[in-house]
Amino acid sequence: MYASRTTQFIVGIFAVLGIAALSYLSMRLGRIELFPAPGYTLAANFDNISGLKTGDQVQLAGVQVGKVAKISLLPEAERAHVVMRLDKGVQVDSDAIAGIKSSGLIGDKYVAIQLGSGDPLTDGATIRKTQSAVVLEDILGQAINNAGSGSGASSNSSEKNSGSANPGPGCPPGAGNSQGIGNRGKATGQKKTK
């Protein structure tokens, strides 16, 4: 009736392997690293990092050279402080520019570094030149506001030119009416016949 010790041992091994596989997958999907690659950290301050998250890529010339390690807010400057962990052997100079970019139109955000010609930065240094993230919603909102204000002015002027304008003195009644309807006999100069 009871399973043999060999069967229990085999089931136990499969259970341990299943738990290990699930743990590995959850750490890979959650971008958690138990043993980070050797390297160094750099920081950068941005006005807007909309959509950037811890664990996102840091790229240099389109090649991944590190990851975003930490994101915080600088209360005195009201700017986002981004700490990046770069791979060993990657040199970033003091004239480099760090910018927030996106993969495609609405893809994941990443930090793109463009090198300059300054002195190499050391561990814990700050990249001074930055470009904040471009927010698609802000661009669309501005385009809609600009389009709305331009068409609103033209529609107001067209309303003034058509419709119920006052014909003024010396004009026959109904002359200001856009449909040409007025006091029939008086406006057209016709008399009613009996």
- One domain, residues 43 and 24: no
β-strands 126-127, 39-46 pairing? parallel
- One domain, residues 13 and 51: no
Q: Confirm if 115 and 93 have CB atoms less than 8 A apart.
A: yes
- One domain, residues 79 and 129: yes
- One domain, residues 120 and 74: yes
Three-state SS at 62: coil
> Hey, CA dihedral for 61, 63, 65, 70, is it positive or negative?
positive
One-letter amino acid identity for 24? Y
Per the domain annotation, does 123 fall within a domain? yes
At which of 120, 137, 154 does a domain end? 137
Q: Is 163 left (phi over 0), alpha (psi -120 to 50) or beta?
A: left
Instruction: Tally Cβ neighbours within 10 Å of residue 125.
Output: 16
Residue 29 is predicted with a pLDDT of 77
Residue 33 is predicted with a pLDDT of 66
Q: How far apart are the first and last CA of the chain?
A: 119
Q: Confirm if 85 and 67 have CB atoms less than 8 A apart.
A: yes
Q: What is the extent of the structural domain holding 1?
A: 1-30
- One domain, residues 24 and 41: no
Per the domain annotation, does 188 fall within a domain? no
- One domain, residues 74 and 59: yes
- Total domains in the fold of the chain: 2
- One domain, residues 62 and 9: no
Residues 6+ apart with CB under 8 A from 88: 37, 38, 39, 40
- One domain, residues 73 and 90: yes
**Minimal CA–CA distance to 114: which of 102, 126, 130, 136?**
130
Q: Is 89 left (phi over 0), alpha (psi -120 to 50) or beta?
A: left
| Euclidean distance between CA atoms 165 and 159, whole angstroms | 10
Per the domain annotation, does 55 fall within a domain? yes
- pLDDT tens series, the chain, 194 aa: 577 889 999 999 999 999 999 988 887 777 666 666 688 999 999 988 888 899 899 999 999 999 999 999 988 878 999 999 999 889 999 999 999 988 877 778 899 999 988 898 999 899 999 988 877 777 888 888 888 776 544 444 444 444 444 555 555 555 554 444 444 444 444 555 54
One-letter amino acid identity for 68? V
Three-state SS at 154: helix
Per the domain annotation, does 54 fall within a domain? yes
- One domain, residues 69 and 115: yes
Per the domain annotation, does 70 fall within a domain? yes
- One domain, residues 85 and 24: no
